[in-house]
A and B are shown apart, each in its own frame.
Chain A
Amino acid sequence: AQTVTQSQPEMSVQEAETVTLSCTYDTSESDYYLFWYKQPPSRQMILVIRQEAYKQQNATENRFSVNFQKAAKSFSLKISDSQLGDAAMYFCAYNNNDMRFGAGTRLTVKP
């Protein structure tokens, strides 16, 4: 079974600084999709970024970028120029006909 591991239950970053959230996954598949979702206190899950496994180029969305290492089965999220509004739970998710989420990383942004 595919599993997703987020080894950092909590992270903290100073406003305007950069932070990296880690995610590893376990799969025997070669074609799959990876996501980072953000869940603020409102509990609404918001898509941050998506990566297709067949693409070698790392996905980027404004201040958010990923470091996708397929061989290492690693999918980390980098948030640049952190803002107070980035404070939330961040979930890494894997899917290939079976959606799996990590346990989440709670990000705190200090002013």
Chain B
Amino acid sequence: KAGVTQTPRYLIKTRGQQVTLSCSPISGHRSVSWYQQTPGQGLQFLFEYFSETQRNKGNFPGRFSGRQFSNSRSEMNVSTLELGDSALYLCASSLGRGGTFQETQYFGPGTRLLVL
């Protein structure tokens, strides 16, 4: 089976712009979660989508949003970018049969975002 894929792998934006990141889960997986990884804050959970609905949400401002399509692919959007949004954004998928996080999550390679 193909693993979790994320596009693009690298991205450079300027402050105030918006960005959309994409994640394709492992075939058959219905749950997609997003994480932000920075040297200062470590790995932080953003949100999780299951069956096109946001099932769980971390403590991030409303500038961070996401959605999931009927084929389970997910997109994450960050509006009005700030310098502090520079990070590695990781996507993870799981089967989604259980509750949030009760299953093993499989991670994609990440998208590295640099905000100038």
Contact = CB atoms under 8 A, between A and B. Distances in A.
B64 interface: no
Contact of B43 (A33, A91, A98): A91
A98 B101 CA distance: 7
Interface residues of A, number: 21
Interface in A7-54: 33, 35, 37, 42-47, 50
A92 to B, nearest CB: 11
A69 interface: no
Contacts of A100: 45
Contact of A98 (B56, B88, B108): B56
Contact of B107 (A44, A95, A96): A44
Contact of A35 (B42, B88, B104): B104
Interface of A: 33, 35, 37, 42-47, 50, 91, 95-104
